[in-house]
Amino acid sequence: MPVKLSLTLVILIVCTTWYAWAQSVPPASSFAGSCKNIRITRDTLEADCYRADGSTLNHSSILIKGIRNVEGDLKFFSMDEPSSFQNSCGVISVGSGGNTLEAWCKQSGGASNKTSILIPGIANNNGVLVYEQISSPPTPTRCSAEQANRCRIDRDQCLGMIIETRRQECHDGYRQCLSGC
């Protein structure tokens, strides 16, 4: 006997899946286009990065934040926590393009899996690798916490999926979303 799903249930499943996915989308890194000799040692990213005038290279390094090994797959969790993937992954390297972390990560059964993930939120600031600061306007008091959170999720998803030159559009969309409360 075939099972029929109601439209409401299908929408609920799709929305729940999208919400969970949107929560896990980190801001995209932008350093790779202005740095070379990019490499990773454990949880530290190193590169030789051009200064803003393009004239000289500066050696810089930064700890990669928020990436864990979950059953053999690299997953992003939060920019507010240190990475732990390096404790259960080996053969850690930089993928093509310079902004992807690749590794062989252990699963609970002991097998290893080749996996990769975009390196989150790192920029080149005048030859120095830094985490991008994403400033948000204050939430207006007429907005409910739920609506403001939806606006932030939409903005963060936008930032995680677009190229650097369109970042301002994400912030403008966020402001417009909040003004509609």
Does residue 21 lie in a domain region?
Answer: no
Q: Which domain holds residue 171?
A: 136-181
The amino acid occupying position 84 is S
Q: What is the pLDDT of residues 108-133, one digit of tens each?
A: 999 999 999 999 899 999 999 999 87
Helices and strands, counts by H and E, the chain = 3, 10
pTM: predicted TM-score of the whole model, two decimal places: 0.61
Going from the C-alpha of 1 to that of each of 4, 5, 6, 60, 132, the distances in angstroms are: 9, 13, 16, 62, 54
- Indicate whether 7 belongs to any domain: no
- Structural domain includes residue 3: no
Mean pLDDT value across the chain? 77
Query: Same domain, yes or no, for 72 and 61?
Result: yes
Statement to judge: residues 117 and 181 lie in one domain: no
With tokens 């059964």, the residue in question is: 109
Cα–Cα separations (whole angstroms), residue 113 to 74, 90, 96, 179: 10, 10, 19, 46
Give yes or no: residues 59 and 33 share one domain. Answer: yes
C-alpha–C-alpha distance, residues 128 and 57, integer Å: 10
For 25-63, write each residue's pLDDT tens digit.
556 789 999 999 999 999 999 999 999 998 889 999 999
Same domain, 124 and 141: no
Neighbour-count burial for 121-130, b at 16+ CB within 10 Å, e otherwise: bbbbbebebe
Number of domain units in the chain: 2
Report yes or no on 10 lying in a domain: no
- Asked if residue 168 is part of any domain, the answer here is yes
- Separation in Å, CA 91 to CA 41, 43, 68: 10, 12, 15
| Cα angle, residue 135 at apex, residues 119 and 171 outer, rounded to 5° | 85
The residues pairing with 152 across neighbouring beta strands, listed in sequence order, are: none
pLDDT at 17: 40
Which tokens is 18 given?
């999208």
Same domain, 153 and 141: yes
Whether 48 and 108 map to the same domain: the answer is yes
Amino acid symbol at 104: W
